[in-house]
Amino acid sequence: MVVAALRQLFGQTIALEGKRIVFVGGLQRSGTSPLYKALLAVPGRTGIYGTHVPEQEGQFLQSVYEPDKSFGILYGFERDCYLSERDTFDPERDRLRLLADWGRFWSPKADVFVEKTPSNIVRLPYLKALFPEGEFIVIVRHPLAYSLALKKWSDEPLRRIIEHWLMVHKTSIENLLKVDGVTVVRYEDICDPSSGARSRLQQRHGVATSADLFADQNVKYFETWGGLHLTALSNDDRIVLSNRYGQVESVFGYSLDEPYVLAEPQWMKEA
């Protein structure tokens, strides 16, 4: 305990030589927290825990970039929240600062260092520029389930929250599918024991998901949606959302009209 307290007080620079660093991301309420717990349940891994910050998110414990709370709960509408390789003038300096900031909470004896922040989903190119050896796990959840879950925290209209999901994923599609070292999983697939998502996570990251951590919570939101759909969105709203973001639905296999139906996109078949 004394050693850990001293590390947090004075900081330490973590050396990554011969070790791995894994970043977890995905919009809030998409399952990043249970995924993080599953990752840390594997021996030899260390993460951030026991802090005063919300959900032990690394973004609140660093001094390099603005956390998403600076941009509001629907941060995806703010272009300055998206970070790319062009947003660092000195990658090595930023890398060392982040390692020092997060290293206060990581055990240096671990083989794998894990950092979880939902809005990592809008920072993939930036983090990859700082950590070329970094691995990323991004979890995606149905936009209706995400939006109805987030509605408990926000006074924003439902259409606006759905647009936020669609905006973030539309902007992130190219990065999700093209940045090296990114594993994309759908929340719904992790909750399904018969899905290949579990075996992919096991093979690539040694993660053993469980029914305790991943019990499908979508049903209650889809049932709520079934009772709301006549008033929550107008026909014009539906047409605008579908026309504007059809690509997002096709890439991730979700449907706004038939939420229980999940298609399997081609990229998932090839993963």
pLDDT at 268: 67
Side-chain-side CA neighbours of 208 within 13 Å: the count stands at 3
| Tokens (6 digits) for 145 | 């389930």
Q: Are 101 and 63 in contact (CB under 8 A)?
A: yes
pLDDT for 247 equals: 77
For 2-216, CATH number? Answer: 3.40.50.300
* Number of C-beta neighbours around residue 116 at 10 A: 25
Backbone angles phi, psi at 31, to 5 degrees: 110, 15
Residue numbers of the chain with a pLDDT score lower than 70: 1-13, 209-211, 227-232, 266-271
Taking the alpha carbons at both ends of the chain, their separation in whole angstroms is: 42
Q: How far apart are CA 217 and CA 149, in angstroms?
A: 10
At residue 228, the pLDDT reads 59
Short-list 189, 249, 231, CA closest to 214: 189
Radius of gyration of the chain (CA): 19
Going across the sheet that includes 45-46, the strands are 45-46, 112-116, 20-25, 135-140, 182-186
Closest CA to 46 of 32, 31, 56: 56
**Residue 196: per-residue pLDDT:** 80
- Judge contact between 223 and 111, C-beta under 8 A: no
Determine the distance from the C-alpha atom of residue 43 to the mean position of all C-alpha atoms in its chain, rounded to a whole number.
22
